[in-house]
Amino acid sequence: MKILIIEDEENATERLEKLVHEVAPGKQIIGRCKSIQQTIQWLHENDYPDLILSDVQLSDGLSFEIFKQMKKTVPVIFISAYDTYAIDAFKVEGIHYLLKPVKKYDLQNALERYDNNYKQKKTTSGNLDSEFNTSAGHKEYQERFIIHSGAQIKLIEDGEIAYLYTENKIVYLVTFDKQKYSMDISLEGFEKVLNQKLFYRINRQFIVQLKAIAKMKSASKQRIALTLNPPATHETITSFERTPFFKKWLLGHPTKN
């Protein structure tokens, strides 16, 4: 497997290389870039890597700009001294988010996640491409849901769902284009079939999609208040019990809660 490192601090780059060699000696580091412009130029002149390790804050801006311009999606393990950018990281091709200083165990866990969830396959052009898969070769979550709207029946993709909530024992699904539908599936049922990388149940009433979280701020009892887009008519605050797991979910760590 070929890895590209994007990091503007020489010491941090050397440390990352050392850790990669220690936890995954079979993986090859094929490039080192220090800025957005240098990375874009490197990608233009070289074959794309299988995986990218990227700092978020570079000397000429946030590394997210790189991935908006890439012609092909490549999974990324983001690295930062702050958790501020976790949401933005997973809106691009982020598969993990590590905090500096990077710990050996955390990097090993992130690389194992890549190994477990991505398999290499030959495309028709003969290049290697990455596709998200389970070990069984198919996705474990449900991607489409049947919606009954009056006499009409339509399909909703999971990416169209902004959030789900209960009101008066009825579950409502709200899409990013502000459509609202009543559902026959309970929140517990949705929890079992939704992609856990994208969706999280923040309390007894709400399941939210990562991309629907517009803002976050501290609330009482160490909870987190969310501002959703589209706006929700009910209070959206993480429950006390779920808040620690919600933070781990934001950073891409698996959680059982």
Report whether pLDDT(130) > 80: no
The lowest-confidence range among 135-139, 144-148, 188-192 is: 135-139
Residue 174 CA, distance from chain mean position = 21
**If you average pLDDT over every residue of the chain, what do you get?**
87
Predicted confidence at residue 95, as pLDDT, reads 82
Predicted confidence at residue 254, as pLDDT, reads 62
Are the CB atoms for 77 and 96 separated by under 8 Å?
A: yes
Q: Mean pLDDT throughout 205-210?
A: 97
Q: Which residues of 162-185 are buried (b: 16+ CB within 10 A; e: fewer)?
A: bbbbbeeeebebbbeeeeebebeb
Would you tell me how many other CB atoms lie within 10 Å of the CB of residue 115? Answer: 13
Measure the CA–CA gap between 184 and 26, rounded to whole angstroms.
Answer: 49
pLDDT band for position 199 (cuts 50, 70, 90) = very high
How is residue 138 written in tokens?
């198919």
Predicted confidence at residue 147, as pLDDT, reads 87
Predicted confidence at residue 89, as pLDDT, reads 82
pLDDT band for position 92 (cuts 50, 70, 90) = confident
Q: Mean pLDDT throughout 19-39?
A: 96
Between residues 115 and 53, the one the model is more confident about: 53
pLDDT band for position 137 (cuts 50, 70, 90) = very low
Q: What is the pLDDT of residues 208-224, one digit of tens each?
A: 999 999 999 999 988 99
Give 144-250's CATH code, choosing from 1.10.300.10, 3.10.20.90, 2.40.50.1020, 3.50.50.60: 2.40.50.1020
Predicted confidence at residue 150, as pLDDT, reads 72
Where in the chain does DSSP place strands (E)? 2-6, 28-33, 51-55, 57-58, 61-62, 76-80, 94-99, 118-122, 128-132, 144-149, 152-157, 161-167, 170-175, 180-183, 199-201, 206-209, 213-218, 224-228
**Please, which residues have CB within 8 angstroms of residue 126's CB and are 6 or more apart in sequence?**
none
The domain 2-132 having CATH identifier 3.40.50.2300: the answer here is yes
* Of 247, 245, 244, the residue nearest 255 (C-alpha): 245
Predicted confidence at residue 256, as pLDDT, reads 60
Q: Mean pLDDT throughout 145-172?
A: 88
Predicted confidence at residue 140, as pLDDT, reads 67
Residue spans of the domains in the chain: they are 2-132, 144-250
